Amino acid sequence: CAGKARRLKQAKEEAQAEIEHYRLEREKEFQRKQQAAMGSQGNLNAEVEQQTRRKIQGIQSSFQKNREKVLRQLLMLVCDIRPEIHENYRVSG
């Protein structure tokens, strides 16, 4: 009877060790999958950031290239004044 109880206790301890080993393996696998998913997420973030930088650089270069032309056009429109009498104006008298 004592041998049987000792054997049951030993089997229970072995089962607990096996369960713990299995749990650790599953946890490691989960960590690997999580790292892989987060790694791809990090790559997407880096790619989006790089595209954003390229777009900003393109906008800035376009601004620098067209700035003088636009300023000249604005100044021409503002400074080129031709006074004319409006067609609805009536001289009374």
Report the pLDDT value the prediction gives residue 42, as an integer from 0 to 100: 66
CA distance 90 to 93: 10
End-to-end CA distance of the chain: 135
CA distance 87 to 3: 120
For 42-87, the pLDDT digits (tens) are: 677 788 899 999 999 999 999 999 999 999 999 998 888 888 888 8
CA distance 61 to 72: 18
Task: Report the predicted TM-score, pTM, of the whole model to 2 decimal places.
Answer: 0.42
